[in-house]
Structures are given as structure tokens and as C-alpha cells.
Amino acid sequence: MNTARKHRLVLMPSGRQGDVAEGANLLAAARQLGVELEAICGGRGVCGKCQVERVSGEFPRNSITVTTEALSPPSEAEQAYAKSHGLDLTERRLACMATVQGDLVIDVPAASLARKQIIHKATTERIIDVMPAMKLYYVDVPAPTPGGPGDWERLQAALAAQHGLSELRIDIAALRSLQPLLRQAGGKVTVTVWQDSELVRVAAGYAEGVYGLAIDVGSTTVVVHLCDLRTGMVLATETAMNPQIRHGEDLISRIAYAMNATQGTQQLHRLVIHTLNTLATQAALAAGIGAYEITDVVLVGNTVMHHLLLGIDPTELGHLPFTLATGEPVDLKARDLGLQALNPGAMAHMLPCIAGYVGADNVATLLAEYNHIGMEVTLVVDVGTNAEILLGTHERLLSASSPTGPAFEGAQILHGQRAVVGAIERVRIRADGTVRYRVIGDDRWSDALQSGESLRPSGICGSGIIEIAAELYRTGMIDASGRLVTDHPAVGRRGDEPAFVLAPQTETATGHDIVVTQGDIRAVQLAKAALYAGVRLLMDHLGVAHVDYIRLAGAFGSYIDPRYALAIGLLPACAPENIVAVGNAAGDGARMALLSTDQRRKAQQLATWVEYVETAAVPAFQDCFVEALAFPCETNLVEE
């Protein structure tokens, strides 16, 4: 009889968790829970590939408190590795050298995963007239004279005489650097000026470099684009998981954490700002520039992310009437947000929000997609934990949000996971229950492999769960209500719950069957019904019975096969050829605003022009939601 004490282990950002025995090796425990850490040396503390970060504090959503004693102290071998490789053991530990001594929440960096995270949030081509808020001016300042004006006064006069700039103010960080740079360069300097009103940086001699960051802070992922503000070119793109996810995968959970945890708002603010500083440093390194050359930042995110970025308590967004602290665009010093990895005088601009749950990311999406909305009815939707919806024409455009939850990102699904290498992303099921699938990272189908080969799937990502639901419905293994048909020979059970085996344990990387349960199907139904009901409500408000074009924004939209989205009722009826993925439109909108002050003004105009519909306050939403739970009566899918 095993009487070893058990502790709860939570692995972020995957969200995998389970009870493990006290004294269990952390590397082995993570693998047991389906998170495969890289360990080239076989767990001997030599390669250092299995680095993880322990997080202390209270985690109400997991009902645990993590103390500093929850992980074993570093051994002599781990200390030796740390000393020779410059590893700070107060921040990171080697999983292969540590054991579980209490309840634990562990952050697993993307670099430590054997199956690396794939985040498709690259920019797309957009036509942008480059007119940045930051401009460079080369100026020759006369030498000082005894009893004459100070350096700043002479620089002001030179800028007025040589460039017509007047009534300038100077950032304190730039003022502190002014005198040594003027002396070093014999009075010849290049200054960076924001909106022709404030001097934020001084560089000795002639300089051409002026750079900015376009940042999309999503509930799940954070994306940073480093841009040349002179040419508009994207020089580097860096991505990471949003570390706030450890305190809740959906927005309501994070609002609850901000409300209930000690300094909850400040904790969530610091987490995301730390990630932004890290990504900014990485982007500058990748582009071969100094981070001090970055002088402008544009940020977008949903309303909860917007408030947390600003360090504002999001409590008011958690209940009707979902009141914003401000919906106006915000200009402030980047350092006031805590962004330290930039030029100390750098500015930050946050795009406006529309309403309580339609934020700056939706405004950025509209900015990027506006020219694709004509006289025919167009639906623009970004499917995430909270779906943002735009519907209408150039004459009238409506906006709403709908709480789809994290099911389409792999959460709430028994064997769900994010879009990582090894996740099942494509599925075909025959009438007899045999399955073909494809995993991320391999273009082959499972039935096309040679003898002895295996794709070794590790779980199911969002696009995969959509196709599974559609295929089970097409083959009659679930009925219109979403119930798994238990008398079908291919439908079995997992405990007390009906389930369908997608991949037997002999084929998987996890050592157990990958199955789809009745609970998984219900989670898909709830998510797709929430999105469809939101769209249906906007169609009713607009007075239209059909949609001509659908544009799918965001990383998830890039993965979805439109036929399958239509087959489960995720989207309203539309010709499949008129459904297109448009990539990270929110990030593109942020980039447009970074590169053009005209686009910033346009964003503000669009935010006030679009009509907001509060779905939670409309009784018809619940009726639409209930109707949308069922699967459509017809499907355009055929057996392949």
C-alpha cells in the first residue's frame, strides 16, 4: 500500500496539473502529467535544458498556497552547474535536480519544452503611409559662451532656426544626457522628438536609427513587433505566453484574482510588464540594435488586459454595467508602465476601447480590416477566450463580445493542449470508427506512414477538436443535441462517461489513449454556441439574414478549416470561399498606429463610430445561445 504524501503540481502555461508523491523528481513528474521537458543529458544536470521557474504565493483557483520550501533546496551538483553557467537558482531551477516537497506552481519556459510552442502571429502586408509620432532632427548647436544661454536653450534655438520647431519641452532623461553628448560631438547631435512637441532622446553626431514596438497583449499570448519608424519595416517579432494565465485562463478568473488576492492587480500588472521587458530586449538583440534606441510603443489588448497594463483594478469590468476606467486613447511615458528595457524617454500609446468587453485589440482589428469592409455584409471575428465580433458594412458597423471560453485553445478538453508540435490538428473519421489524423509539425496523415512509424500525438489543439466534433456528427456518432451515441460500436466509455478513442496508447507520446469524451463535446458546444449567438444577435440588430464575407482574425483563425467551422455551427452560413484567415489583425492594427499618427486618429474615430451591442444585457441572447447548442441539420462534409 502506497502511503506517500501527495502534493498538487500545476504546470503553466499548459495548465496541466495532478497529484504527485512527495519526493518525486520534478522532471519525471512533469512528464507524467504530459509536459515533456527537454533533457538532452538524460536528467544528469549537465545540459541545463530542463530549466523551470517556481512561483510562490496563493493560487485560489487551484486551492493551493505555494511556499519557498515546496521545492527541494539545490544540491551540490545543481549549485556546481549554476556556478559554471551563470544560472541564478533563486529564479530558475533544473527540473531534473529538484524534487517536490509541497504544492507547486511551475512556469515552464518555451525553450525548456521538448515540443516547442508554435504561435502564428506574424504580420501581414498592409499599406501604411509612414508618419510616425517620433521624428529625427540633426542639428548643429553653437558653442557655449561665458554668460550665455544654457545648453538646452541653445538647442531649442538651433531647432527653431534649422527645423522650424518651437515651444519644445525636453524629457528629464534626455536633459540629463544633453551636456556630455553636446561636448562629445562638438555640438552636432541628432534628437528624437515626439509629436514635434517633446524631445525624448539625444544622440551624438548624425544618427538614423529610430525604432518602436507594436505590442498585442492577448489573454493567452503576447506578441511584440519591433519596427523601423523611418521605413516601416518589421525588424523582429518576439512572442511569449501571457504569464497571467497561471492565475486564470479566462478574463473573469483574472478579474477575480485581482479582486481577491493580496495586491492582485499589481501582481498581474508586474507579470505582463516583466514579459514585455524581456520580449523588447530579445527583439532588440535579434535586430542588432540597442534597446535604448526604442523610443515609441503602441499597445493593444482586450479591456481587462488594457486595465492591467495600466495597473488599474479591473473589478468594475466584472459586473454590469461593465464600466471602463477610460475608453479614450492614452499617451504616457513607457517608464510609467514599468517598461524599463527601452530608452528612458520612450512614449507609450494605448489605442481606445469601445465598451466594457470590446477593447483596444478590437479597435486595432477594425483599423487593419476597415478597408476590406465594403457594401456587402462582412463579419470579422477574433476567436479567443473572449471572442470579439464586428459585423456590418461601410455604412453601419456593429460590435460585440462573446464569452467563448478557452475550449478552442485546448483548455476544458480532457486531452486538449495548445498549438504545439505533436498536437492533433486535423482529423478524419470513417463510418466504422477508424481514424486518420495529422499533428502539428508533420504534414503526413497517420494512415500514410510506413510500417513501424508513428506520429506520436501528445494531445488535441483547438482546430483538431472542431474537426473531431464535426466528423463525429457527420458519421452519426453524436446526434444533433451533441450526445455521443452509446450504441454505436465505435463509441466506448472512459469511466462513467461515453468516449471515443482518437489514438490508442500504443500510438501516443503520453502513454495513454487520447480520447474525446462527452464532456469535451459539451465544452465545444458551449464555446461555439456563445460565438454563434453573439453573431446572430448582431445580425438581428443589423436587420440582415445572411453574411456575405467572413474574415477570421487571430492565430486560431489561421488554423480553422472553414468547412468544419460551418459544419458544427461555429459560424453563420457563408460560402466557404468567402471565408478567409487574416492573421493577427490586432497586431497589424497596432503596427499601423505605431507607424502613423493618422492611423491613431482614425482608430479614435472608428472607436466612436462603431455601434456597441451589450450581449449580456439583451434577453434574446440567451434564446440564441440555447438554439445554437445544437449541431446544424445539414453538413457539407463528405468522407475523405
Q: What is the CATH number of the domain that holds 560?
A: 3.30.420
pLDDT of residue 521: 94
pLDDT of residue 540: 93
H/E segment holding residue 254: helix 251-260
Would you say residue 41 has pLDDT above 80? no
pLDDT of residue 125: 64
Would you say residue 1 has pLDDT above 50? no
Q: Are 468 and 516 in contact (CB under 8 A)?
A: yes
Burial per residue of 143-174, b for 16 or more beta-carbon CB atoms within 10 angstroms, e otherwise: eeeeeeeebbebbbebbeeeeebeebebbebb
Last residue of a domain, one of 496, 524, 552: 524
Work out the average pLDDT over 373-382: 94
Residue 414 falls inside a structural domain = yes
What does the pLDDT look like over 188-235, one tens digit per residue? 999 999 999 999 999 999 888 899 999 999 988 899 999 999 888 999
Do 546 and 493 reside in the same domain of the chain? no
User: In the chain, how many domains are there?
Assistant: 4
Over the chain, what is the mean pLDDT?
90
Do 411 and 520 reside in the same domain of the chain? yes
pLDDT of residue 110: 77
Last residue of a domain, one of 112, 143, 178: 112
Residue 257 falls inside a structural domain = no
Work out the average pLDDT over 116-133: 67
pLDDT of residue 448: 85
Write the CATH number for 149: 3.10.20.880
What does the pLDDT look like over 547-557, one tens digit per residue? 999 999 987 77
Q: Are 571 and 530 in contact (CB under 8 A)?
A: no
Do 17 and 103 reside in the same domain of the chain? yes
What does the pLDDT look like over 59-68, one tens digit per residue? 887 788 899 8
pLDDT of residue 533: 92
Do 106 and 139 reside in the same domain of the chain? no
**Residue for grid cell 544536470:** 45
Cα gap 364→92, rounded to integer Å: 36
What are φ and ψ of residue 68, in 5° steps? -70, -20
Do 393 and 411 reside in the same domain of the chain? no
What does the pLDDT look like over 596-634, one tens digit per residue? 999 999 999 999 999 999 887 788 888 888 999 999 866
Do 611 and 558 reside in the same domain of the chain? yes
Lowest mean pLDDT among 263-272, 372-381, 433-442, 502-511: 502-511
pLDDT of residue 119: 47
Q: Give the pLDDT band (50/70/90) at residue 406.
A: confident
- What range defines the domain where residue 376 resides? 369-403+530-628
User: In terms of DSSP H, where are the helices of 48-127?
Assistant: 76-85
Please report, for residues 92, 514, 516, the alpha-carbon distance to residue 484 in angstroms, rounded to integers and kept in the order given: 45, 16, 10
Do 515 and 491 reside in the same domain of the chain? yes
Percent of the chain with pLDDT over 70: 95
pTM: 0.84
Last residue of a domain, one of 112, 147, 179: 112
Cα gap 193→610, rounded to integer Å: 33
